[in-house]
Chain A
């Protein structure tokens, strides 16, 4: 059965012609006129040379923050050199006249004409892009970075670009944008977490300003926890992850939050159909101390009240997030930042069950420039989150709570030399899982409170990384991380019968360890990637990285959910270790107006977690009896075409990706699918996305987002039988069938200046324009009195979902 669900049936024709039509239009082209600032650098007559050094620092014009990653163009060509993490650059040029341009994505480029007859210092400040004009060249630097960056499989975007991808509730969202990029998908709507290059959601390291954020979504995963008002940009490392990131086995996503304006106070407020927001930023001490505070709150319950279903009407959903950023500049070389993110969610389905979770992440970061070549960044962070699952009614209303506290410390240094940048440092994270508690949900409940203690662990990893640019054509990034993990007491270590599978029936003893080390794991994690640019527009990149993971989520739901329990490695739950390979070809066309890429990847992961049938995970002191570990592989290729300039911009991405797993127990009775390879829950072999942005002029854009993917695997019906009048489905091997294919179109219209004389914006968006009922999963039910079970599909979003958000900003 289900033959029409199998991969390969790409029944939905994708309007490729439409894409090329969009991209072949080149209306509204505007050529910006650039003015060059002329400068002369002279040396003393006795110091005449054929080459001179040009150096300097580049800052953000708005808040005078140093800007890393600014591309330096000389005489019309990108040099392959970017400003370093301290915003500084260093370049050796022939004596004579040169045209220097500093460019960064989302910033207005600065143009200089210099006569270089001596070493020179050229500092520059880049202002933000003006919406009306520069929108048309937003992506040009980005595309060049794709060609020149030594690290393969990196996706970077800033908030201006994120805003132009239509999203649910009209809210600019990192996770939504990422799912339109090649290699990124999710189990389905309403499922939290991302699956990147065939990896599980918990195999992604998600950071906010390099601080670990474990709980990062709202509304059961429809929205990320990162407020677009306070968001600066993100970087996703899905190929070779640099050695200064670690702890997960698939990818790293670092989300940079904005710093407060140090010159003037800005206020903005948004009122939307489902979300309201407030944001304030400004100088507490002009040019020294900046503050940014952003609050977001849901107001979606009125929507639930209008749904024609009693259970939904009786349901409740609410969430909020608060971001606070404070940064103080002691001098040009020393600064201190405080970041705080607090999120909270509550979801109750009728009077049947509910979830609530909250999260607090706070960090203090010190940035110190010790000399022109050496800088240090130190960061201390604390995070905590609490999950609750409750049953509000029934015989014994109850709730189960769990959570995790963690302390993170990281120090990293950057030593810049002429052709080599070296990053070194160490990171330590201490995890303390909170006890899992069962308690009565009201005074009449007879539930006897119960508590299951949880584990404590420490992860420590020194790292070293070097970016070497021997020539403009070649760059190499190599690094090494040595991760160490220790589980500490107190904890109960269960002992099992020899020669039998681990199960609660084979427990023979238990050792309680009050304190001290229980188990340790460690491993070297080499990381290397290279770039070879054999002319200005053709580049080949490759990478290899090894990553260890000592913390994973435990959940037996259909897909990952925000309340999944994070579980440390223990004596029986072994750390995951992945080997990642990546190789890609990149080419730009028409002076970078178009860029293309073809990127292949392969990952092998040892000890990937899988669940035994009907795993009982709640209040289980010996979780290992419900789990089974195995070997995971993921492989595929990503193809992308981007149009970076013109009246219409956007990209088309196609991903072929497989994600498979097999369990590797020596005991056949606990093997899943008899130890054969089978697709993971998120294995989607074909994924296509098309994002188009029509720049209509006068600060208006019309945007579309089209998504298609093969349906994800599900477990299907093998037969059915009767037990005393009850029809029972007999399910077959795990994940052997597929739900119907997924297809969705979203649109949005963004306009500035809705009310005259106000600095305001309006965002109309429709998510799932066609109202297609995309299946989330399939289940089987008896139909009427007919003695057979028939398949039904459930769709999380069964209709078009429109939203309007109005934002107004003030300054003083």
Chain B
């Protein structure tokens, strides 16, 4: 028995190729396309908490860029009893309402009057129940975004749901807020006071939509990842994560399920084919006009957790530490101005009410 030499030679030629392995891959397509512009988007959330309630009115723009805010709308909250409460226009398409909060079991709707058209949402009922959340966090070195290990901060929640036969539909949002200390150069004589700290906020992992409903399960406790983010020098001072639990009604839950499908569509074999998601707002003068967005009401509960650099097991770069002899102009702009650090995120120099209360 002997292997024929010519075949054997060919086998060796094949061997390097042989170890090319099966892998699927994802690539960005190198084209930019037109998209429809001018579609109206209305999104509002009205909760039982004593906070600002926000409605955003915008229109889509071409080439898929972020929608433009609509400035000239009249936005009104409606109750079933006929009470009309106007929102205040705060610019950039945002309309705010404060000093009022939703009541459990009551129904509310939203009216937006714009360019002679009246847009009206369905009446949405505030649910009666919510869950109790307990947060925890972890710092780890693991794959995130791509396959190579990287320092990652993860926040987890354990939710305990009330024992009730009534359906409960929950959604969670998470937001980070961290303190950023600006550089203050020591001086002699009449020196300016140290600049106030920056408090910078942003949504954590916006595409992660956490939803849970109790229909079809006996489970009254659920544990899940609230969100993950890279570890960077945002952690060199105090870092808060605020998790807002929204107890919503079934229609809103189904709406967010569809949003989750279209947002998380990865084009895989098992993906549900994408489709337009229609909300609960319509033009009463032109029912054929498609209005994007949703007006939802919720019973809400906010839970927070804090971490500091002492918890972080990784090296953190501290670009704004005072170095003797270093000229002021040599410090990075983010060490001087909050907006340079925030890069488009929300920021303020006033500590939130809840900051360091615990």
Chain A residues with CB under 8 Å of chain B are 1-4, 190-191, 220, 273, 303-304, 306-310, 312, 353, 395-396, 438, 445-448, 450, 556-559, 561, 611, 613-615, 715-732, 734, 740, 749, 751, 753-758, 762, 764, 766, 771, 773, 776-780, 782-783, 785, 787-804
Q: Are B259 and A726 in contact (CB under 8 A)?
A: yes
Task: Determine whether the beta carbon of A801 is less than 8 Å from that of B29.
Answer: no
Enumerate chain A residues within 8 angstroms of B245, measured Cβ to Cβ.
Answer: none
Instruction: Establish whether residues A776 and B23, one from each chain, have CB atoms under 8 Å apart when the complex forms.
Output: no
Instruction: Specify which of B11, B64, B258, B343 is in contact with A789 (CB 8 Å cutoff).
Output: B64
**Contact pattern, B 293-320, Cβ under 8 Å of A = 1, otherwise 0:** 1100000000000000000000000000
B24, A754: Cβ atoms closer than 8 Å: no
Cβ distance A775 to chain B, nearest Cβ, rounded Å: 8
B147 touching A308 by the CB < 8 A rule? yes
In angstroms, Cα B5 to Cα A755, docked, is 10
| B94, chain A: closest CB distance, angstroms | 11
- B residues with CB within 8 A of A: 1-4, 7, 10-11, 14, 17-29, 31-37, 39, 41, 43, 45, 54, 56, 58, 60-61, 63-67, 143, 147, 173, 203, 206-207, 209, 212, 216-220, 222-224, 257-259, 261-263, 265-277, 292-294, 343-344
Contact indicator B39/A804 (Cβ below 8 Å): no
Q: In the complex, given contacts A446-B217, A726-B203, what are 6 additional A-B residue pairs having Cβ atoms less than 8 angstroms apart?
A: A2-B33, A446-B220, A561-B269, A614-B257, A788-B63, A799-B25
Could you tell me the distance between the alpha carbons of A94 and B269 in the complex, rounded to whole angstroms? 63
**Cβ contacts under 8 Å, B223 to chain A:** 395
What are the 3 closest A-B residue pairs judged by CB atoms, nearest first?
Answer: A1-B33, A446-B219, A798-B25
Q: Which residues of B contact A794 (CB under 8 A)?
A: 24-26, 266-268
A-B contact pairs, 20 of them (CB 8 A): A308-B147, A396-B217, A446-B220, A447-B218, A448-B216, A557-B270, A558-B269, A718-B35, A722-B56, A724-B45, A727-B66, A728-B292, A753-B4, A754-B4, A755-B2, A762-B7, A764-B14, A793-B29, A799-B25, A802-B14
B26 to A719, Cβ gap below 8 A?
Answer: no
Select one of A353, A724, A804 contacting B43, CB under 8 A. A724
A303 surroundings in chain B (CB, below 8 A): 21-22
Contact among A561, A730, A777, A792 with B292 in the assembled complex (CB-CB below 8 Å): A730
Rounded to whole angstroms, the CA-CA distance of A720 and B274 in the bound complex is 13
How far apart are the CA atoms of A303 and B22 in the complex, in Å? Answer: 7
Interface centre among B43, B63, B261 (most CB of A within 10 A): B43
Are B17 and A729 within 8 A (Cβ)?
no
Report yes or no: A783 in contact with B28, Cβ–Cβ below 8 A.
Answer: yes
The one of A558, A783, A789 in contact with B273, judged by C-beta atoms closer than 8 angstroms, is A558
In the complex, the chain A residue whose C-beta lies closest to that of B274 is A731
Min CB distance A712 to B, Å, is 12
- Complex Cα distance, B207 from A616, in Å, reads 22
Is the Cβ of A448 less than 8 Å from the Cβ of B218?
A: yes
By a CB distance below 8 angstroms, the chain A residues around B265 are 729, 779-780
Known: A721-B39, A721-B67, A804-B18. A796 touches B269 (CB 8 A): yes
Could you tell me if A558 and B147 are in contact, using CB atoms closer than 8 angstroms? no
CB-contact partner of A1 in B22, B35, B257, B262, under 8 A: B35
* Most-contacted residue by chain B among A558, A758, A762 (CB, 10 A): A558
Q: Known: A353-B270, A787-B65. Is A730-B29 also a contact (CB below 8 A)?
A: no
Residue of B nearest to A700 (CB): B7
Q: With both chains docked as a complex, state the minimum distance between the C-beta of A257 and any C-beta of chain B, in angstroms.
A: 29
Given A309-B23, A755-B1, A787-B65, does the pair A720, B35 have CB atoms closer than 8 Å? yes
**Are B259 and A557 neighbours in the complex by a CB distance under 8 Å?**
no
User: Which A-chain residue is minimally distant from B217 (CB atoms)?
Assistant: A446
Residues of B contacting A757 in the complex (Cβ-Cβ under 8 angstroms): 1
Q: Tell me which of A220, A728, A753, A782 contacts B269 (CB under 8 A).
A: A220
- Is the pair B269, A721 in contact by a Cβ cutoff of 8 Å? no
In contact, B35 and A719 (Cβ under 8 angstroms) = yes
- Nearest Cβ on chain B to A9's Cβ, whole angstroms: 12
Give chain A residues whose Cβ lies under 8 Å from the Cβ of B32.
1, 790
Check B269 against A191 for contact (C-beta < 8 Å): yes
Q: How far is the CB of B232 from chain A (nearest CB, A)?
A: 13
B334 to chain A, nearest CB (A): 15
In the bound complex, do residue B293 and residue A797 qualify as a contact, i.e. CB atoms below 8 Å apart?
no
Q: Is the CB of B147 within 8 A of A309?
A: yes
B27 near A773 (CB under 8 angstroms)? Answer: yes
Q: A190-B269, A779-B265 are in contact. Are A4 and B24 (CB under 8 A)?
A: no
How many Å lie between the Cα of A236 and that of B323 in the bound state? 81
In whole angstroms, what is the CA distance A561 to B269 when docked?
A: 8
Q: Which of B60, B61, B267 contacts A792 (CB 8 A)?
A: B267
Bound together, the chains give a CA A220 to CA B270 distance in angstroms of: 10
Whole-angstrom distance between the Cβ of B50 and the nearest chain A Cβ: 19
CA–CA, A438 to B217, complex, Å? 11
- Cα–Cα, bound, A755→B1 (Å): 6
Q: Are A792 and B274 in contact (CB under 8 A)?
A: no
Given A303-B21, A446-B218, A730 and B277 contact (CB-CB distance below 8 Å): yes
Contact, CB under 8 Å: B207 / A754: no
B258 close to A722 (CB less than 8 A)? no
Decide if B293 touches A751 in the complex (CB within 8 Å).
no
Chain B hits for A779, CB < 8 A? 265-267, 271, 274
Structural contact, A715 and B273, CB atoms closer than 8 A: yes
Q: Within the complex, what minimum Cβ distance (angstroms) separates A625 from chain B?
A: 14
Determine the residue in chain B with the shortest Cβ distance to A800: B20
Instruction: Report the minimal beta-carbon distance from A717 to chain B, rounded to whole angstroms.
Output: 6
Across the interface, B26 reaches (CB within 8 A) one of A730, A754, A782, A793, namely A793
CB distance from A443 to the nearest CB of B (A): 13
Question: Which residues of A lie under 8 Å from residue B17 when comparing CB positions?
Answer: 766, 800, 802
B159's closest neighbor in chain A, by CB?
Answer: A395
Bound together, the chains give a CA A799 to CA B2 distance in angstroms of: 34
A725 closest partner in B (C-beta): B203
Partner of B1, one of A312, A450, A758: A758
Contacts of B294 in A (CB 8 A): 723
Q: How far, in Å, is B230 (CB) from chain A's closest CB?
A: 12
**Whole-angstrom CA separation of A218 from B4 in the bound complex:** 35
Cα distance A353–B27 in the bound complex, in angstroms: 23
Contacts of A777 in B (CB 8 A): 267-268, 271
B1:A726 contact, CB within 8 angstroms: no
How far apart sit A1 and B37, CA to CA, in the bound complex (Å)? Answer: 13
Evaluate contact between A734 and B273: CB separation under 8 angstroms: yes
Contact residues in A for B259 (Cβ distance below 8 Å): 723, 726, 728
B43 touches A448 (CB 8 A): no
A795 to B14, CA, bound (A): 24
Closest CB of chain B to A263's CB: distance in Å?
Answer: 27
Q: A717-B64, A729-B263, A788-B64 are in contact. Are A793 and B35 (CB under 8 A)?
A: no
